């Protein structure tokens, strides 16, 4: 700084000297041997000054690389201190100080992104999205995916889920196979009940192997059940269409079949419900579906009994199967067969519902005393509340 001051002062003095010597510049004579040089004094002084300035310029150019190097080192040291203090104040939750510290001196190159990310996070914590967006706008363009992911996480933290989803989808478009983005999308789709989008996303999660088979199955069931429930309440006439659009391997799962069959039973569509239940039970044996099969009232109960008796070949000690066989036989007035199945069920595991059916059977046969006995036995096996 001092050198620049003296240089400027010298130029000012030179200018003053030139103005002073305009009327009488003086002269100087230099001689050697036969050679003689005569010129004005002011010209010599100005020439000497110009030579001195030229030498100074050469000196500055010579030292310029070293000056730039030390300037870069000092700037980088200041940036490191800025980043250090920014992180410390950020950890302590001093958001305003953290934002200022991150921006006090920004590092060169890749590290500059850390300053802007830190400042943006501190601004978000102060609920100033305008400043946060401004800081993120200074992050290098090649990190746009990271910026979108970062913004999505911040909006999740602030419970602004629609905007978080928008940013996550933008990040997904830039990096379709990024596992972190896929998991955030999964969480947001569930939270915002975007079930169809979740079903589209699940195959990508399966390819990345970030979900266990049980987790994937649970999410698929949750999404499909929600879609079916919504359709049944909002557009019941489209239930069959929605059901047919679900892949067969998925729609035969007990959790889904149960909901749809209950809807069919309430709608009085036993002709659709009965074969669907049989197909599903063949695909996966489930006692809840078996109970529903006993509730279906078709025009051909004998055929229902025949199907159920075939299941006894592999489930001869199944309590629920014996109950529904007794129930179906009771409905078809096959008293002896109903008695046989229900007594066998009671012998395997005494159950209040079995005794209720036995009591109903005795009433139908006109055996009132025996019916009372069965009902009393059923009361002894009612599970405690």
CATH number of the domain where residue 321 is located: 1.25.40.10
Considering 299, 316, 345, which residue would you say is the last residue of a domain?
A: 299
State the pLDDT at residue 70: 46
pLDDT one-digit tens code per residue, 238-292 = 888 889 888 888 888 999 999 999 999 988 899 999 999 999 999 899 999 999 9
Residues 385 and 308 in one domain: yes
Same domain for 378 and 317: yes
Does 191 map to a domain? no
- Domain membership of residue 114 (yes or no) is no
Same domain, 373 and 311: yes
DSSP sequence for 90-145: HHTT-HHHHHHHHHHSPPSGGGHHHHHHHHHHHHHHTT-HHHHHHHHTTS-GGGHH
Report if residue 101 sits inside a domain: no
Which of 279, 299, 319 is where one domain is finished? 299
Q: Choose one of 246, 272, 299: the last residue of a domain.
A: 299
Residue 270 and residue 235 share a domain: yes
Confirm whether 240 is domain-assigned. yes
Quick one: 308 and 295 in the same domain? no
Tens digits of residue pLDDT in 172-208? 999 999 999 999 999 999 999 999 999 999 999 988 8
| CB 358, CB 342: distance < 8 Å | yes
CA–CA separation, 203 and 209 (whole Å): 10
Do 315 and 364 lie in one domain? The reply is yes
Q: Are residues 254 and 276 in the same domain?
A: yes
Residue linked to tokens 């996966």: 284
Residue 367 located in a structural domain:
yes
The reply to whether 329 and 367 lie within a common domain is yes
Residue 289 sits in the same domain as residue 317: no
* 28-32 and 35-39 beta bridge pairing: antiparallel
φ, ψ dihedrals at 204, nearest 5°: -70, -40
Assigned domain for 238 exists: yes
What distance in Å separates the CA atoms of residue 160 and residue 152, rounded to the nearest whole number?
9
pLDDT of 375 reads 87
Q: Please give the chain's pLDDT, 385 residues, in tens.
A: 566 666 666 666 666 666 655 555 666 666 666 777 666 666 667 677 777 677 777 767 666 565 554 455 566 678 778 888 888 998 898 999 988 988 888 877 777 888 888 899 999 889 888 898 898 888 888 889 999 999 999 999 889 999 999 999 999 999 999 999 999 999 999 999 999 999 999 999 988 888 888 999 999 999 999 999 899 888 888 888 889 888 888 888 999 999 999 999 988 899 999 999 999 999 899 999 999 999 998 888 899 999 999 999 888 888 999 999 999 999 999 999 999 999 998 898 888 888 898 898 889 888 898 988 988 888 887 777 5
307 and 385 part of one domain: yes
Q: Could you give the number of structural domains in the chain?
A: 2
Kindly state whether residue 251 falls inside one of the protein's structural domains. Answer: yes
Question: What does the DSSP assignment read for 142-184?
Answer: GGHHHHHHHHHHHHHHTT-HHHHHHHHHHHHHH-TT-HHHHHH
Q: Structure tokens of 91? A: 């950890």
Asked whether residue 254 falls in the same domain as residue 308, the answer is no
52 in a domain, yes or no? no
| Same domain membership, residue 307 and residue 295 | no
For 309, the domain range is: 303-385
């Amino acid at each position: 700084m001092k050198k620049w001051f003296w240089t400027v002062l010298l130029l000012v003095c030179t200018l003053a000297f030139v103005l002073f010597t305009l009327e009488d510049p003086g002269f100087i004579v230099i001689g050697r041997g036969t050679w003689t040089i005569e010129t004005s004094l002011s010209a010599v002084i100005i020439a000497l000054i110009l030579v001195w300035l030229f030498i100074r310029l050469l000196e500055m150019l010579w030292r310029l690389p070293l000056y730039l190097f030390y300037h870069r080192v000092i700037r980088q040291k200041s940036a490191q201190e800025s980043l250090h203090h920014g992180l410390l104040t950020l950890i302590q939750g001093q958001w305003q100080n953290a934002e200022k510290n991150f921006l006090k001196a920004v590092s060169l190159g890749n590290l500059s992104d850390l300053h802007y990310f830190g400042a943006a996070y501190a601004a978000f914590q102060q609920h100033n999205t305008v400043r946060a967006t401004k800081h993120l706008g200074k992050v290098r363009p090649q990190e746009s995916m990271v910026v979108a992911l970062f913004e999505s996480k911040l909006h999740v933290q602030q419970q602004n889920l629609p905007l978080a989803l928008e940013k996550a989808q933008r990040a997904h478009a830039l990096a379709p196979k990024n596992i972190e983005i896929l998991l955030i999308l999964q969480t947001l789709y569930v939270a915002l009940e975007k079930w169809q989008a979740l079903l589209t996303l699940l195959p990508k999660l399966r390819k990345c192997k970030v979900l266990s088979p049980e987790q994937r199955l649970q999410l698929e069931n949750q999404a499909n059940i929600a879609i079916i429930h919504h359709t049944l309440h909002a557009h019941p006439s489209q239930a069959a269409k929605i059901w047919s659009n679900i892949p067969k391997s998925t729609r035969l799962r007990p959790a889904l079949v149960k909901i749809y069959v209950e809807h069919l039973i309430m709608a009085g569509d036993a002709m659709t419900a009965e074969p669907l239940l049989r197909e599903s039970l063949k695909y996966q044996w489930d006692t809840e579906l078996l109970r529903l099969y006993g509730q279906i009232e078709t025009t051909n109960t004998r055929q229902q009994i025949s199907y159920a008796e075939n299941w006894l070949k592999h489930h001869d000690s199944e309590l629920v199967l014996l109950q529904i066989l007794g129930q179906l036989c009771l409905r078809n007035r096959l008293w002896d067969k109903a008695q046989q199945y229900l007594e066998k069920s009671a012998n395997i595991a005494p159950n209040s519902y079995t005794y209720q059916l036995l009591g109903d059977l005795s009433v139908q046969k006109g055996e009132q005393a025996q019916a009372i006995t069965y009902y009393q036995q059923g009361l002894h096996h009612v599970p405690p509340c």
